[in-house]
Amino acid sequence: MSKDNKIIPFPERGRNEALRRIRMAAENSWDRLDLSNLGLDSLPRELEMLKGLQHLLLGSNKPVLVEGKYTYVLPTFTDISPVAALTDLRFIDLSGATRLQDLSPLSSLVKLHELSA
């Protein structure tokens, strides 16, 4: 296999895709962002710059095709502190984030009306 065709591990691919989507959200002032089904093992700090974000999907809500098989790609992050900066957030989906134990970063989000876990 050539260098150009190397296989990138799924968490790294997911992180790269998350960063791409975050950049697009910042450039276009999106109020919704879907980072679900990316298998994130940590939340990018770049999320903090999306001050106008109101709706954030971080969980795993449908099977995706991975290496020829449909599977749920569960997030494995344990820290959601970057979300604390999203003061306009009204909805967050953390479904499948079974390693997450500390929800205290959400306590500063006074506009948060719905949490899906």
34 close to 70: Cβ distance less than 8 angstroms: no
Summarize pLDDT for 8-57 with one digit per residue, the tens: 446 788 999 999 999 999 999 999 999 999 989 999 999 999 999 999 99
Joined together, the tokens standing for residue 106 give 């959400």
Domain 3-116 adopts which CATH fold? Answer: 3.80.10
54 close to 32: Cβ distance less than 8 angstroms: yes
**pTM of the entire structure?**
0.87
**Residues present in the chain in total:** 117
Alpha carbon 102 to chain centroid, angstroms: 16
Q: Domain limits of the chain? A: 3-116
Residue 1 pLDDT level (bands cut at 50, 70, 90): very low
24 close to 30: Cβ distance less than 8 angstroms: yes
71 close to 93: Cβ distance less than 8 angstroms: no
